[in-house]
Structure 1
Amino acid sequence: MAETNTLIEKLTQLITLQQNQLLAMQQPHTPPPQTPVVTHEPTLHTNLIPIKLDGKNYPLWSQSIRMCLKAREKLKHIKDLPPAEDSPLFTRWDIEDTMVKGWICNSLDKNLYGKFLRYPTAKEVWEAIATTFYDGSDAAQVYDLNKKVNKTKQANRSVEEYYNELQDLWLEIDFRRPNPMECTADIEKFNKFLQESRVYSFLDGLDDKFDNERANVLQMTPFPTLEQAFARVRKEATRQGVMNTGGEAEPQFSAAMYSKGNKGMDKSHLKCTHCGMTKHTKDQCFKLVGYPDWFKDRRKEKGNWSGKGHAAVARADLAHVSETQYLGTGTGHGGTGNISGHVGAGSTFGNLPGNIGAGPSANFLGAGTW
């Protein structure tokens, strides 16, 4: 009897379990609660861009505003006409347009804010600002920008500073004179031509110390883009900085080393664009970078130059000869003369032909005439 009761109890539990499973399958599935996603939609007073229109930076400001509106799918509010007021879409559009108008006005300088706030739509605000500040149709502005590009030179500045100044001017030109081509192939050809022209302008304005790198860039195949040319020159500028003491060139040291260390080189093909003399370039010209210490010391020891006639020529050329040439000795005609105590009777000075003789007519660091 007890065993029968136990069996019945087990069967009852089994039946109850099966019934519960059937009920659970029949009930609709309820997903677990999810954490709501919080979005941060810009408000009416949100500043979309970090700059404010001040009347002088319209190209940069307008490009920034267009980019932000496009990212939020609101660009239509400054391009398209509004829907009709009786349209079911008008209420939603009006709310969004007020938001866009607030974004634009909040990006204006406080002195300009009140002048454009009164316009009823974002499109009208946008067009009023463009009418006031956009002068891209004025050919004189484009002419002035190209004139500035042609005058821009490195002028002993860093390569980065020089390159950035050119880029700012070119970006302004591109904004005022966009690519006129429509065909994809023509657009690519025009951009390639424009890049090549700007590489030439960039290389032309570099300092003379980049002459070798300038030639290397021009020989690159295929012809480099502007960014590639800048990267090559910047790399060379870094190398020159590392090779010089303290990472920065010292003009007097460099000029003296150039004179002493290159005396065996053929420099007859070189010509300085500053002083017009030969056998050196502008970046080694003593008149610009300063005279080396050995040259100053010798002048101090022997006093001022007092020669006449050909002595003036010797003085001009002396600014670009080495210490070895300056102290060179030789023999020639005439009487006695003395240059720095190293030239004997009738000496020829370096590679400048001339005779030193005894006489009162001239004095070149001693008695004698040229």
Structure 2
Amino acid sequence: MPGDDSSSTSTAILATPTAAIPAHSPYFLHSSDQPGTPLVTPVLDGNNFPTWHRAIVMALEAKNKLQFLDGSLPKPASDSPDPPHWTRCNSMVRSWIVHSIVPNIAHSILWVDSARDAWLDLHDRFSQKNAPRIFEIRRSISTLSEGLDSISIYYTKMKSLRDALSSYRAMPTCTCGTATTLQSHVETDSLMDILQGLHESYSVVRSQILLMDPLPTIA
């Protein structure tokens, strides 16, 4: 019937924009992607930016949406077919970020139209060197000891502190070999931190390890 043909045609037209976007495209949104869903926990509270930043980046990489933050996918020209898709995904990413932040911080970026601009604003405010936090972590590392814990539990605690410290001290990008040397020094420092907190029952083993050349890795 003519009425049925018209209905089928309308349905096909409405379905075309979504169906035409392949799954590998950054414009693709899965049916499970919801704007009100926090991407990560815990949310950003102003004191956990390094770990929150890393978690958000990982989540958006998994969703193929990191391009909306790093500037590699700017808003398309108005004469292309992509602006509606870009706007839709940009709003989705903005919403994910807003719902992954405590309300008083989220309100400050709520009216920013670009997900990238909101991201850069948060980065400028919270990525500054946090000397008091670095001091706290360094002090925790220097005072941590195995005590009554097992080696595994003690190592896990130490690694958590070392990872937190490294989040405030990014290694420089280098192709001359200097970064490898710096990384070696960092690994040596980590080994020393582990050894100094071991129970005294391991004093002989510790002495033997310190005499090794080269020093073993923490693993």
TM-score (norm 1): 0.45
Q: Bigger radius of gyration, 1 or 2?
A: 1
What one-letter code is carried by the residue in structure 2 that aligns with 1:67?
Answer: M
Q: CA deviation at 1:193?
A: 2.1
Distance 1:41 1:87 in 2: 30
Out of 36, 40, 50, which is 1:45 matched to?
36
Residue of structure 1 in register with 2:185 after alignment: 193
Q: CA deviation at 1:109?
A: 2.7
Cα distance change of structure 1 residues 51 and 141 upon mapping to structure 2, 3 Å threshold: closer
Distance 1:43 1:107 in 2: 13
What one-letter code is carried by the residue in structure 1 that aligns with 2:146?
Answer: Q
Q: CA deviation at 1:85?
A: 5.8
Cα distance change of structure 1 residues 87 and 215 upon mapping to structure 2, 3 Å threshold: farther
In the alignment, structure 1 residue 131 sits paired with structure 2 residue 124 = yes
Gap regions ≥5 residues in structure 1: 1-36, 229-370
Q: For the Cα contact (< 8 Å) 1:55–1:133, is it kept in 2?
A: yes
3-state SS of paired residue (2:167): helix
Identity score, percent:
23
Q: CA deviation at 1:67?
A: 0.8
Cα distance change of structure 1 residues 184 and 163 upon mapping to structure 2, 3 Å threshold: farther
Q: CA deviation at 1:64?
A: 0.6
Distance 1:184 1:96 in 2: 39
What one-letter code is carried by the residue in structure 2 that aligns with 1:54?
Answer: D
Distance 1:221 1:74 in 2: 46
Distance 1:202 1:117 in 2: 44
Q: For the Cα contact (< 8 Å) 1:181–1:190, is it kept in 2?
A: no
After superposition, residues 100-119 of structure 1 pair within 5 angstroms as 100-119=93-112
Residue-by-residue CA offset, 1:61-115 (whole Å, 9 max, x unaligned): 1101001112222112112173366352433211111011111112123444333
Distance 2:63 2:111 in 1: 24
Q: CA deviation at 1:194?
A: 1.3
Out of 145, 154, 157, which is 1:165 matched to?
157
Give the aligned CA root-mean-square deviation in angstroms: 2.7
Residue of structure 1 in register with 2:18 after alignment: none
**Which one has more relative contact order, counting CA pairs under 8 Å at least 6 apart?**
2
What one-letter code is carried by the residue in structure 2 that aligns with 1:133?
Answer: F
Give the number of aligned pairs. Answer: 189
What one-letter code is carried by the residue in structure 2 that aligns with 1:135?
Answer: Q
Specify which structure has the higher proportion of helix: 2
In the alignment, structure 1 residue 216 sits paired with structure 2 residue 208 = yes
Residue of structure 2 in register with 1:174 after alignment: 166
Distance 2:133 2:102 in 1: 23
3-state SS of paired residue (2:98): helix
Q: CA deviation at 1:182?
A: 0.5
Residue-by-residue CA offset, 1:109-131 (whole Å, 9 max, x unaligned): 34443333222121122122223
In the alignment, structure 1 residue 142 sits paired with structure 2 residue 134 = yes
After superposition, residues 293-308 of structure 1 pair within 5 angstroms as none
Residue of structure 2 in register with 1:95 after alignment: 88
Distance 1:45 1:144 in 2: 35
Gap regions ≥5 residues in structure 2: 1-22, 24-29
Q: CA deviation at 1:221?
A: 5.6
Residue of structure 1 in register with 2:55 after alignment: 64
After superposition, residues 1-370 of structure 1 pair within 5 angstroms as 40-80=31-71, 82-83=74-75, 86-88=78-80, 89-136=82-129, 138-183=130-175, 185-220=177-212, 222-226=214-218, 228=219
TM-score (norm 2): 0.72
Distance 1:92 1:70 in 2: 18
Q: CA deviation at 1:176?
A: 1.5
Distance 1:170 1:73 in 2: 30
What one-letter code is carried by the residue in structure 2 that aligns with 1:76?
Answer: Q
Q: CA deviation at 1:140?
A: 5.0
What one-letter code is carried by the residue in structure 2 that aligns with 1:90?
Answer: P
Q: CA deviation at 1:171?
A: 1.4
